[in-house]
Copies of this chain bind each other. A is one copy, B any other.
Amino acid sequence: MDANPSTWSEHTVGAPATDADGDAYRALSGNAAKGIAVVTAAHRGWDHAVTVSDYLSVTYDPPTMLVSLYSLSRIVEAVAGAGRWGLSLLASDQRSVAERFGEQGAPLDALLRQTPHVRRDPDGPALIAGALCWFELRTVATHEAATHTLVVGEVTAMGRAREFGAKPLVRFQSGYLR
């Protein structure tokens, strides 16, 4: 009842799901507006950094966050290996940072050299300067979910990196929310 038939559409997912189902889902799930962040980890002397939008706050008791990462990615290996990671929430003027860390397989040392960042201790993750705020986390659980790994972390330290009043960088559909 009450649906406007001219704007209501339905797509039923097959069992198993097909490529067409995946395409339909990608288009629709882009309607979930999401603040963009960068996950960072330092592992075996290398920095890793990947742009993400699939993270969330689990609870404030104790402060706990979750990020969903592609299971075959280097960042999963680095986060798992290091046992700790950073999450920097980007501001609206940091599109170039989001794009820099959005590409797969780019050489990481050069990327971080171009990106102002802060490291709170020598083995810690790089935290992106100019972000709205940052969190350092310690992994407390991981769960496999289809192609992805859900990494649950407790916050060990956190703070602002930017003056109040700055706006977030938000992905929506195939672009950014202006």
Chain A residues with a Cβ under 8 A of chain B: 1-4, 6-13, 16-17, 21-26, 28-29, 31-35, 37, 54-66, 68, 89, 116-120, 129-130, 132-133, 135, 141, 143, 145-148, 150, 152, 154-163, 167-168, 170, 172, 177
Contact = CB atoms under 8 A, between A and B. Distances in A.
Q: Which 9 A-B pairs have the closest CB atoms?
A: A2-B116, A33-B35, A17-B62, A25-B63, A33-B168, A9-B159, A22-B60, A54-B56, A10-B159
A135 to B, nearest CB: 7
Nearest to A23: B60
Given A1-B118, A32-B35, A150 B9 contact: no
21 contacts: A1-B118, A3-B118, A4-B129, A7-B160, A10-B120, A10-B157, A24-B63, A25-B63, A25-B158, A31-B168, A32-B89, A35-B172, A55-B56, A58-B145, A58-B148, A59-B148, A62-B146, A66-B145, A167-B172, A167-B177, A170-B177
Q: Tell which of A22, A32, A130 has the most Cβ of chain B within 10 Å.
A: A32
Contact of A68 (B7, B16, B56): B56
Contact of A158 (B16, B28, B33, B56): B28
Number of copies: 2
Contacts of A66: 56, 68, 145, 150
B33 A170 contact: yes
Nearest to A142: B143
Nearest to A67: B56
Contact of A177 (B32, B158, B159, B177): B177
Contacts of A6: 163
Nearest to A31: B132
